[in-house]
């Protein structure tokens, strides 16, 4: 295969993958038909079956793509906006709220949507979904551990459990907001999480001095303002 043919092959595969990613997000895995994927990708069935065995195979590639995109596409812009580990978590949640509002509450976390839709017998797909969830939680867990090192959260907090709670708040808030057609359920979910963090932060012995207390107040003001931004 010469360089031109190889480049064209990669381009065709990327077009199919991009089309499938968009349609699975817009319509769901089941509703997105093969004909629609090929039409949007401007590819024929021969090209599709050259790269993928079936629709489930292209879904696996889409999930692999999501896992690789997590940091550069979603986390990195948020992480660059602030170095505060707790504020990063709430900015991440605020990003999902922003997407909900921008799409008139049609946006849904693509991983959560697929997880609810695909059959339990698709074990490989569910392993990939779990890997995507684990990547998301690992990023949050790292923020929580940094907050512990700064003595902003108690050392006794189980960061894995709290990261799982943050993910549940996000997924549940998005799902409810889509059904209600407004941001109120999402906001209420996140405010409940804010109260949880406020309680945990309030139990840490104050060894930071006046400057540390001032920083904590400023940080918390920034966090609670995220939903209104």
217/102 Cα distance (integer angstroms): 30
Q: Which tokens hold the place of 111?
A: 């991983």
Q: Which CATH class is domain 64-228?
A: mainly alpha
Residue 185: its H or E element: helix 184-202
Residue numbers of the chain with a pLDDT score lower than 50: 2-7, 207-214, 220, 229
Measured distance CA(29)–CA(193) in Å, rounded:
31
Whole-model pTM: value is: 0.86
pLDDT for 222: 53
- Comparing C-alpha atoms, which of 125, 192, 135 is closest to residue 165? 192
Span(s) in the chain for CATH 1.10.357.10: 64-228
Can you give the pLDDT at residue 108?
Answer: 87
User: What pLDDT shows up at residue 6?
Assistant: 45
Question: What is the per-residue pLDDT across 66-105, written as a single tens digit (0 to 9) for each?
Answer: 999 999 999 999 999 999 999 999 999 999 999 999 999 9
CATH superfamily ID and name for 1-52: Homeodomain-like (1.10.10.60)
CATH 1.10.10.60 maps onto the chain at 1-52
């Amino acid at each position: 295969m010469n360089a031109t043919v190889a480049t064209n092959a990669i381009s065709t595969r990327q077009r199919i993958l991009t089309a499938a990613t968009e349609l699975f997000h817009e319509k769901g895995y089941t509703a997105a038909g093969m004909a629609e994927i090929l039409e949007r990708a401007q590819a024929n069935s021969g090209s599709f079956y050259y790269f993928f065995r079936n629709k489930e195979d292209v879904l696996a590639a889409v999930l692999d793509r999501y896992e690789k995109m997590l940091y550069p596409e979603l986390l990195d812009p948020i992480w660059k906006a602030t170095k505060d580990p707790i504020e990063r978590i709430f900015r991440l949640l605020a990003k999902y709220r922003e997407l909900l509002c921008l799409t008139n509450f049609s946006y849904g976390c693509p991983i959560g949507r697929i997880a609810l839709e695909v059959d339990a017998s698709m074990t490989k797909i569910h392993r990939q979904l779990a890997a995507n969830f684990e990547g998301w939680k690992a990023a949050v867990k790292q923020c929580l551990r940094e907050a512990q090192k700064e003595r902003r959260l108690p050392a006794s907090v189980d960061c894995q459990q709290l990261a799982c709670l943050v993910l549940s708040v996000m997924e549940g808030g998005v799902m409810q907001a889509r059904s209600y057609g407004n941001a109120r359920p999402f906001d209420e979910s996140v405010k409940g999480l804010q109260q949880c963090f406020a309680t945990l932060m309030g139990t840490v012995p104050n060894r930071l001095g006046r400057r540390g207390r001032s920083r904590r107040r400023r940080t918390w003001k920034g966090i609670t303002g995220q939903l209104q931004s």
